Amino acid sequence: MPRRTPYEQARKVGHYTTSATLAVLFVLPMLWTLFASVNGRQANDGSPGWGVANYERLVDYGMGLERYLLNTAAVAAVTVIVTVVATTLGGYAVARFSFPGKNLLFLVTLAILMVPYTTILIPLYVFLGWIGLQNSLLGLALVLAMFQLPFGLFMMRNSFEALPAELEEAALIDGCTTTGALWRVLIRGVAPGMVTVALFSFLAAWNEFVAPLIFLTDGDKFTLPVALFNLQSGSLGSVDFGALQSGVVTAAVPCVLVFLLLQRYYVRGFTSGALKG
């Protein structure tokens, strides 16, 4: 094993030092929030110390924490399913088929990223009223899925283009239809890309605040970010900071767990098309 030069050793130390520093900077605010949620007078019902009183008040707030979590989970689930299915089929079509207007359709879909997000929320609110999905979790999920289509389509097109065309040709020769080749053969190769799209869609839907605030008017349909905003507003100018910190921790835990579970596939999804060619 060759011995590292002083320059290589210094570069390695600098790499690890920088990575550790960035990790601490990202994790420290979350650790402070966790600490504040279980420590202090509010956390211990009036006396300094440790306790879970903040979480108890959060559970009983408004329509109940369980209701807000279920609403948020339902919106995130529908958003993920719609986004993954639509972008997988769309990415397959754009990558494998030639049809009139293919490039134009792809560019128009990507152009959604160029439209300021908040400028079309009101027109979308009116449109949802026309189709009977105003003030509904389904309507909100479809809107959130629409904003995930550009990135998802781009990711899935690259994932399909990274696969050898011979795989699909062999499946067709063996008697598979185009749809059969997709679901029996190709879908395994693009699974990391699908997981990446699903992860981004989940995080966007779970943490979205502006769209639920505009599209939802019934308190029993609020998602967790909107409920936490109302908790932050307080009554008569008072804010329950302890319960608010508990809500932040509660909202962050599912995101952290999902990311840790899917991190391996997430990295593979981003690099799936890097070595194509």
pLDDT at 275 over 60: no
Please state which CATH number belongs to domain 54-271.
1.10.3720.10
The predicted pLDDT at position 145 comes to 93
Higher pLDDT, 174 or 275: 174
Position 240 confidence tier, pLDDT thresholds 50, 70, 90: confident
* Domain boundaries along the sequence of the chain: 6-38, 54-271
3-class SS string, the chain: CCCCCHHHHHHHHHHHHHHHHHHHHHHHHHHHHHHHHHECCHHHCCCCCECCHHHHHHHCCCCCHHHHHHHHHHHHHHHHHHHHHHHHHHHHHHHHCCCCCHHHHHHHHHHHHHCCHHHHHHHHHHHHHHCCCCCCHHHHHHHHHHHHHHHHHHHHHHHHHCCCHHHHHHHHHCCCCHHHHHHHHHHHHCHHHHHHHHHHHHHHHHHCCHHHHHHCCCHHHCCHHHHHHHHHHCECCECCHHHHHHHHHHHHHHHHHHHHHHHHHHHHHHHCCCCCC
pLDDT (tens digit, 9 = 90+) per residue, 70-115?
A: 999 999 999 999 999 999 998 888 888 887 877 888 888 888 778 8
pLDDT in tens, 38-78: 887 777 776 777 888 888 888 888 888 999 999 999 999 99
pTM (2 decimals)?
0.84
The larger pLDDT score, comparing residue 220 to residue 6, is at 220
pLDDT, averaged across the chain: 83
Query: What pLDDT score was predicted for residue 19?
Result: 86
pLDDT at 276: 45
Q: Can you give the pLDDT at residue 25?
A: 87
Read off the pLDDT of each residue in 144-153 and give the average, rounded to a whole number: 90
Banded model confidence at residue 274, pLDDT cuts 50, 70, 90: very low
* Residue 1: predicted pLDDT: 45
Chain segment 262-272, per-residue pLDDT in tens? 877 766 655 55
Give pLDDT tens digits for 182-216: 888 888 888 888 998 999 999 999 999 999 999 99
pLDDT beyond 70 at 2: no
